[in-house]
Every structure is written in structure tokens, then in C-alpha cells.
Amino acid sequence: MIPPFVCSLTRLTYLDLSFNIFNGNIPSCLGNLSSLTKLDLSVNLFNGNIPASLGSLSSLTEFELFKNQLSGSIPASLGSLSSLTKLDLSGNQFNGSIPTSLGSLSSLTELDLSSNQFNGSIPASLGSLSSLTELDLYGNQLSGSIPASLGSLSSLTELDLSYNQLNGSIPASLGSLSLLRNLDLSNNELRGNISENFFHKLTRLSYLYLSDCVLNISTIWIPSFQLYELSLMSCTIDGEFPPWISTQFSLERLELTNASLVGVIPSWLWETSPQLHYLNLSRNHLEGSLSSNLSICTQLSELDVSRNGLSGCIPSIWPSSISILFLNDNLFSGKIPSSMGKLSQLRILNLANNFFSGNIPYSLGKLFQLRF
């Protein structure tokens, strides 16, 4: 445990006990360290509540408690830390609602409450944090709608509300966050339509994750952003491959699983995004063959085109970087090419439920990394 003498160091300005195995409760007497500007107790085994007395540390600018075993609710007194610029309580077992008093932290630039058990709604008061650049609330049990007030956070560069139980539609006000680079609203219960008008001001967007939305985007739309990662899992696209993706020349990760896609996988996909690391097109209605042009993507490590209607022979030339390959539940036929035995990085291979014929190549026995 933290020894009691620490509480007598009244001139202390910086206390960092992170990445140890301290345990027990956080001593309430730490609230006596009135000169403290940084308090970091992250990655320990602390349990119990945050002492309300820590709300008296008026000089505190950074407060980090991530990855402990703390529980209970956040004391409303933390809303008095007017000098605070960073608050990270992620990776604990906090529950209850997020206190509205956090909306008073006018100097706050980073707020991370992710990977806890917070419930209730997101306080509209968080929209008053005008200096905030990062807001991470993912991995909780938050419900209700996304407050439109979050669209007032004009300095925001990262907004992650994924893996909650949020519902309703995505507020149009979020489209005003012109500095936003990372927007993740996936794995909630959000509904509603999104058009290209929503993205008009999001010119700096680099990471976009949505799910269960209906995308009403015209075929001639050219986005003003360049994405590194795009996930539209279980979104309704209803048609062929979105043409606007061909304008995204920096894509490293693309996920369009269960997106009601029909038609063929366009050849421009491989030519536009040769730096792809991850591609998931599973659970759609795609047809045609799998082009050998995918070998252009020399960094591709995971490919999932399972549960479609793809047919013909599978390519004999693959990127040597492939480690996970799902081709199952399609209409592929012909022989399994012996050249697949050269994929030395392959760890998972699924060819089930197709129409392959001939022998299983002996070369597959040379795949020493193979686990499945």
C-alpha cells in the first residue's frame, strides 16, 4: 500500500507511482498535498473508490488512474479541479452515471473514461468543455441518445463512443467538428440515415467507424478527407461497392461486413489501396471471382470474404504477408493451389463450404505457423 508518510510531503508537486503493484485503497489523505500538479497511480492494483478529498487538489493539471481495480462512482468533487487538463480513469470498474460536474473542467483537453461500467446517459454538460481535444467513452454501458451539445466541442480531434448502448440518430451537429480525425460510433444501437452532407466539414477525418446506419451517399460524391481506416460494419449501403472509396488512397484497414453489398469486388480496390493491411467484406452478396490483382497488396495480413457468392478458382498468387484468410461459405471451385504452401505467415485458413476438388496439396503441410 502507499505508505502514510507520503501524505506529509506537502510541498510535493509531482507524484508518479504508476506501473507498480501497489494495492489497497487510495489514501484520502492525498487530498492534503495541495501543491500537487500531477498525480499518476495508473497500472496498479488499487481498489475501492476515488476519495472525494482529491477534489481539493486545486493545482492538479494531470490525474491518471487507468488500469486499476477501482469501483464505485466518480465523486462530484472532481468537478472542482479547475486546472485539470487531463483526466484518465479508463480500464477500471467504475459504475453509476458520469457526473455532470465534469462539465465544469474548463481547462480539460483529454477525458478518458473508457472500459468501465458507467451507465445512464452522456451528460450534455460535457459540451461545455471547449478545450477538449480527446473524448473517449468506449466500452461502457451508456444509453440514451448522443447529446447534440458535443457538436460544440470545436477543438475535438478524437471522439470514441463505441461499444455502448447508445440509441437514436447521430446528431447532425457532430458534422461541425472540423478538426476531428477519429470518429468511432460503432457497436451501439444508433439508427438513422447519413448523407454526404454530414461529412462536408470533416476534412481532417482519418479514422471512421460506424455500424447499423443507413448511408444515403450519391455515386458521384468525392470526400474531402483521406482515411487510413474505414469500418461500416452492418451499415446498409444497398448496392454495389461505394465508388467514393476509390478516392481513398491511404486506406490500411477496410471493413464492409454485412453491408448489403452486391455485384463484384471492383478491380480498382487493389490498385487504389495497395497498402491495405486488413480487408473484411464478409456476409454480403458479392459475386464473381477473386482477382489475382490482390497480390498488389503486399502488406495484406488479414482477408475475410466469407459468406458471399464468390465463384471460380481462387488465385494462385497471394501476398506473402497473409496470416489470416477466410474464403469459406462461397462458391469457389477447382483445385486448392499448391502455391498456398509458400504462405509462411499463414496462421488461420478457412476454405470450408465451397466446391473444391482434387487433392489437398502436400505443400500445406509446410505451413509451420498454421494454427487453424
Q: What is the pLDDT of residue 97?
A: 96
Q: How many residues does the chain have?
A: 372
Q: What residues in the chain have per-residue pLDDT under 50?
A: none
For residues 74 and 95, the answer to whether their CB atoms sit within 8 Å is no
Q: What is d(CA 199, CA 202) in angstroms, rounded to the nearest whole number?
A: 5
Concatenated DSSP letters of 22-56: -EEPPPGGGGG-TT-SEEE--SSEEEEPPPGGGGG
What pTM does this model have?
A: 0.94
How far from 300 is each of 49, 77, 201, 229, 278, CA to CA, in Å? 45, 49, 31, 14, 6
Domain ranges of the chain: 226-372
Q: What is the pLDDT of residue 180?
A: 98
> Could you tell me which of 303, 296, 170, 185 has the C-alpha nearest to residue 234?
185
pLDDT tens, position by position, 6-46: 999 999 999 999 999 999 999 999 999 999 999 999 999 99
Q: What is the pLDDT of residue 95?
A: 96
Classify the phi-psi angles of 96: left when phi > 0, otherwise alpha if psi is within -120 to 50, otherwise beta. Answer: left
Cell of 88: 484518465
First vs last C-alpha separation in the chain: 45
Q: What is the pLDDT of residue 239?
A: 78
Q: Does domain 226-372 have CATH number 3.40.50.620?
A: no
pLDDT tens, position by position, 63-75: 999 999 999 999 9
The contacts of residue 318 (CB under 8 Å, 6+ apart) are: 294, 295, 325, 339, 340, 343
Q: What is the pLDDT of residue 347?
A: 97
For residues 331 and 354, the answer to whether their CB atoms sit within 8 Å is yes
